[in-house]
Structure 1
Amino acid sequence: MLCDERIDLKETHGPLGPDESCEPSADGTPPRARTFLGAILCGVACACGGGGYTGSSGGSNTPPPPPTSATLLYVPNEAAGTLDALTIDTQTGIPTPISGSPLPDGPMPRGIAVDPQKRFLYVTSPSGEVRGYLLDSSTGKLTTMSGSPFLTSAQSVAIAVDPSGQFVLTANGSSNTVSVFEIGLTGALTEVAGSPFAAGADPSAIVVAAGHYVYAANQVGGSVSAYRIDMTSGSLTPVAGSPFPVGASPGALVVDPSGTHLYAADSQPGAVSGFTIDVSTGALTAISGSPFPAPNGALSVVTDASGKLLHIANGTNVDCYTIDASSGALTPIGTSVTNGRATALAVDGPDNFLYALDNVDNQVEVFSIDAASGSLKLIAGNPFPLFPGSNQQGLGPTSITVAH
């Protein structure tokens, strides 16, 4: 039956049968007429595309599943001007280079960061620019975004994306500044009004805490500059008391997952400075017992996803600490020996794997993290080359990031 067909009720209904009655029901409609009217409405709905089911008996209206999202690992190679891209097996932790890796980038890639939604990847360079890529989260492949590279007019050596995915921030080394860029819908960057903002001497690391606070480690100045970021404009305002004194040469920073403690790795002398973050002001207060000894050196620092463990790359091995849940104080629990030289670290938090970059042999060493004890164990197959034959090349890898 088509939608515009007319129905003659007399012809289709016919005379009453012996058991049928014309007496109306409680709603005033004869029973047979009510049943027939329902049949008409059902037929019209089906013929005109109404109703909940329009497919055949073997069909399905279930929407297709969303695209798969891989856990990805990236390493910038400063000497070669390339990016290593690897996928991670979340069950075993094993990294595997994607097809085409290493990927071409540009001069002196140094810092690297991925936005929280895994849409965009950014690389900073001391040449004074940030290079942006569209990220295929299922394959790890990168496509240069429109407008890239984005000039920083400064010697950018480290980079971070704020947890909301609105802003990219760079620490600008010998320029003694911090730059802030707004992320557009396509990933393109626009420097915010007032940027770059003054920092201490030689800022070499930068992090953003969940409470809208930004911290930059001033490697020459022996301090941490603290700012509050305006989440509308991106403008930075120094926190009262900033900069806060730290060790002689802080080169790496990490904020614990709760956003209440900050740790700075100091390579000279080897130590980790710990601070409590005032969540209402962003001010830093040294944790009792800080700085905590790191006798083998401290080049890179990370925490696990639970915020109970802290790990330090000392240039050769990885030192491990537990974090006191209340005070944030660190207690050493031992050193995990690598097969090479651990210079930078990244954690795949949900799956409890730690990745240590060896910047001499151009390889990654992978540890499983014992969530109960905090100890590390090298997984089978270590070490893993960044790509086949990578240990025979002068790549100069500088940092490492994992996007889950």
Structure 2
Amino acid sequence: MTYDLGVDLGTTFVAAAVARPNQAEMFTLGDRSVVTPSVVYRADDGELISGDAANRRAVSNPERVVREFKRRLGDPTPVMLAGTEYTVSDLIGAVLGDVLRKVTETEGEPPSRVVLTHPANWGPFRRGLLEEVPGMVGLTDVGLITEPEGAAAHYASSRRLTDGELVAVYDLGGGTFDATVLRSGPAGVEILGMPEGIERLGGIDFDEAILSHVNVVGGGALDALDRRDPQAAVALDRLRQDCVLAKESLSRDTETVIPVFLPGRQFEVRLTRSEFEDMIKVPIESSITALTRALASAQVTPADLSGVLLVGGSSRIPLVARMVSEALGRPTVVDTHPKYAVALGAAVVARAQRGEQALTQRRTDTAAEGGKDADSPARGKTDGSTRSRRWPVPVAAVVVLAAIVGVVLAVPHIVDSGPGSGDQTAAALAPISNTPPLASAPIPTAGSPLPAGATPGFAAVSPNGRLLYVANGDAKELNVLDTTTNTKLATVPIPAGPPQFLTFSPDGGRLYVSIFDVSGAGSEIAVLDTSTNQVLGQVPVAGQPYRPAVTADGRGLIVPVHNPESVWTIDTVSLKVTGQTPVPPDPSWVELSPDGRKAYVVNRGANLITVLDPASGKITGQVPVGAAPNAVAVNPRQPLLAVVNFNGNSVTLLDAGTDTVTTTIPVGQHPQAVAWAADGQFLYVVNDGDNTVSTIDPRTGKITATVPTAQTPTSISVLPDGTRAYVTNLTSGTLTSLNLTG
């Protein structure tokens, strides 16, 4: 019998559902469970084995297994598995191939139509990589939908929804959290706003929290393990599985016991539900805070929602339903089988799409025969559009929450708290997350322009990524934005003069503001307490202070100064000038090497990069670059510098180990600013003269994308997690938000 297949390729589990003409049901993939783990094992003969079979083999050979690889799709670094390199696409292909084989063997024939799901925040780059995977296993014409769309389709198939009804879907799975806004209508479902998601928020992060708790209770027992010891590796893998079981049991019980069997030591760890909830409250709060952003994007309020649908295995944690309901003031609906909802919905969509293809073919045939339906539009189109994608099933609009894991806490709901209201930003100043940045994509995309006040000339993101400070020179003020909601939290007056450049201390507690006007009168460095937005002190400067740098210990501020041409060193504790070094003309920017041993000074008037020893203030080298260099950026992952040459219409790359030029790359007109992706894979150059941002792959020296901005872009600041960047547009009074992860 003809059937269609929906596959949810999750980070931790894979689920598949079969849709027949009158029903959709789960297909059992696992040995003792409907779902199967997203695990791949490399056998001695090179065969890639997935699922439960891979898990069984991993017990004795953990070095031959790989998990959670879906998170790395788009990362060009290969995955090493038993000494062999694989792309993430290879691994996903192995999993999908096993699913297709099992289903085909059981059903006796291949599916008529297959639909795969993916996280809502994946852009064209990663969707394109996923689209290539079915071809590896012989599939053609495979549909792609977002995971929230699949959940919404399943929900709608069992509940009749009225036109225009709104439902919030909170999709918290094993490794990702998804967000989308949907609205039901006569033709199906329409996505409202921009789908978003959190790449690194899910059950595996909660498992790691429990594992860390075990380590602490055990006095660092896990830290003391020799990970190269096969016995230790097997014991650690078993402990991870016991942590998963503990997490799941706490959804039913108020406490549990975790057995710990390590080489030479055995003990137990008691864990209560309240202790576990304390571990995960912050990331759940960040997803709830992001609800404001999702609703604002869709122009929907909580009161508009008929309810909140919780899907994904991790949504069964009782704290999730409680916090979501309290935050929205709306009822929550936990799907009967939250792990299965996405796959079941994908199967429903696959069935509907096949029906639409048949209908379209009939219309085409009718048109060829002169029929009257030739111009009727076909529904069920899934072309990747995020604004008006529809499928022909009676589904409600669905709002899904999104945020950057480890990046945001609950920020006060304030649009503009007025001058000096720094207490409203204090809640956003928490420790920096150690989560690695997401893989950057070669083709960023620009969102809608954001208001930024009058003449926004420079912007800087706080070290934890939660706040964006914008220097509005003509208005003599700073605007403070919440990067989660892109709304203004505060306006900070700077009465001493126009703020020009901004630099954070390493802990984000202080902001150093370079102040001067064109005459140089009233020049100073103002020190701002970012928890209160109050000025702590000022350092008068005999000249024009440009963009400074702060030493890694936060004790030294290195400031390039025009007239006289020099670099000043300031003690940030006493706010006293401790040194001045004469340099070539027009020093405009300073960056420190990652080890702090070198300071790179841009000398615009001399077409040079001057290398200083920050400790002694002595010049140790000079590197000729292009015409009128304006800014420099240090790669966060490799010894590489990038310098933009304003009059040279180029960017110069330098080897930071030898301080020599490696290449010069033509870019747009009058490049003014430069920044690296958080993972160091790509370079972003702001072109003031033609209102664009150039993306460069430093490995090839080629421009991979040119993204339009508003008028007169002047600076760029990248979030530490690598997801977005903000470009200030001086003349337009706006910010351009760039999605950097595809």
Does residue 578 of structure 2 align to residue 229 of structure 1?
Answer: no
SS of alignment partner, residue 398 of structure 1? strand
Q: Is 1:208 matched with 2:208?
A: no
Separation in 2 of the partners of 1:126 and 1:227? 24
- Per the TM alignment, residue 130 of structure 1 is displaced from its structure 2 partner at its CA by 1.5
Determine the C-alpha separation between the residues in 2 that align with 1:49 and 1:306.
44
Return closer, same or farther for 1:70/1:211 CA change in 2, 3 Å cut-off.
Answer: closer
Q: Which structure: larger Rg?
A: 1
For 1:276-302, what per-residue CA distance to the aligned partner results, in whole angstroms no more than 9, with x for missing partners? 222xxxx42211xx2221243311111
* Equivalence map 1:3-402=2 (5 Å): 50-52=254-256, 61=317, 67-68=403-404, 90-98=439-447, 101-127=448-474, 128-136=476-484, 141-146=485-490, 148-173=491-516, 174=520, 175-184=522-531, 188-192=532-536, 195-212=537-554, 213-230=556-573, 235-239=574-578, 242-278=579-615, 283-287=616-620, 290-306=621-637, 308-315=639-646, 316-324=649-657, 329-370=658-699, 376-379=701-704, 382-386=705-709, 390=710, 395-402=711-718
Shift of 1:369: 2.4
For 2:255 and 2:444, locate their aligned partners in 1 and report how far apart those are by CA, in whole Å. 49
Amino acid at match of 1:259: G
- How many residues align? The count is 298
Higher helix share: 2
Structure 2: which amino acid aligns with 1:275? Answer: L
Distance 1:226 1:67 in 2: 39
What is the rounded CA distance, in whole Å, between the counterparts of 1:295 and 1:360 in structure 2? Answer: 17
Deviations 1:7-56 (A, max 9, x none): xxxxxxxxxxxxxxxxxxxxxxxxxxxxxxxxxxxxxxx9x9754399xx
Q: Distance in 1 between matches of 2:681 and 2:707?
A: 18
Contact 2:481/2:487, CA 8 A, preserved across alignment: yes
Give the C-alpha shift of residue 116 in structure 1: 0.9
Matched AA of 1:135: T
- Distance (Å, rounded) in 1 between the aligned partners of 2:498 and 2:715: 17
Compute the TM-score of the two structures, normalised by the length of structure 2. 0.38
Separation (CA, whole Å) in 1 of partners of 2:464 and 2:495 = 24
Q: Is contact 2:692-2:713 (8 Å) kept?
A: no
How far is the alpha carbon of 1:95 from its aligned partner? 2.0
User: What residue number does 2:17 align with?
Assistant: none
Contact 1:252-1:301 at 8 Å conserved across structures: yes
Q: Which residue of 2 aligns with 1:41?
A: none
The runs of 5 or more residues in structure 2 that have no matched partner are 1-249, 257-271, 274-312, 321-400, 408-436, 723-742
Query: What residue is the counterpart of 1:26 in the other structure?
Result: none
The secondary structure found in structure 1 opposite 2:404 is coil
Question: Residue 268 of structure 1: SS of its match in structure 2?
Answer: helix
**TM-aligned CA deviation for residue 261 of structure 1:** 1.0
Render the CA deviation track for 1:174-195: whole Å, top value 9, x for unaligned: 22210000011xxx41110xx2
User: In 2, distance between residues paired with 1:91 and 1:345?
Assistant: 16
The DSSP-based 3-state class of the residue aligned with 2:499 is coil
Identity %: 19
Q: Which amino acid aligns with 1:378?
A: I
> TM-score, structure 1 length as denominator?
0.67
Report the CA distance shift for 1:397/1:91 in structure 2 as closer, same or farther (over 3 A).
closer
TM-superposed deviation, 1:219: 2.1
In 2, distance between residues paired with 1:196 and 1:363?
36
Runs of 4+ in 1 over 6 A off after TM superposition: 62-66
Match of 2:591, as an amino acid?
Answer: V
User: 1:158 Cα shift?
Assistant: 0.5
SS at match of 1:154: coil
**Secondary structure at the residue paired with 1:251?**
strand
1:263–1:307 distance in 2 versus 1, CA, 3 Å:
farther
Structure 1: unaligned runs, 5 residues or longer: 1-45, 72-87
Cα offsets for 1:86-134 (capped at 9, x unmatched): xx98442322222xx3111222211210111111110113232211112
Report deviation, 1:197: 0.8
Report the Cα distance in structure 2 between the residues aligned to 1:396 and 1:368, rounded to whole angstroms: 24
1:158-178 superposed Cα distances (whole Å, 9 cap, x missing partner) = 111111110011111222210
Q: Quick one: structure 1 residues 307 and 199, their matched pair in 2 at CA, closer, same or farther if it must change by over 3 Å?
A: farther
> How far apart are the structure 1 equivalents of 2:712 and 2:570?
32
2: distance between equivalents of 1:157 and 1:178? 10
The whole-number CA distance in structure 1 between the counterparts of 2:702 and 2:679 is 17
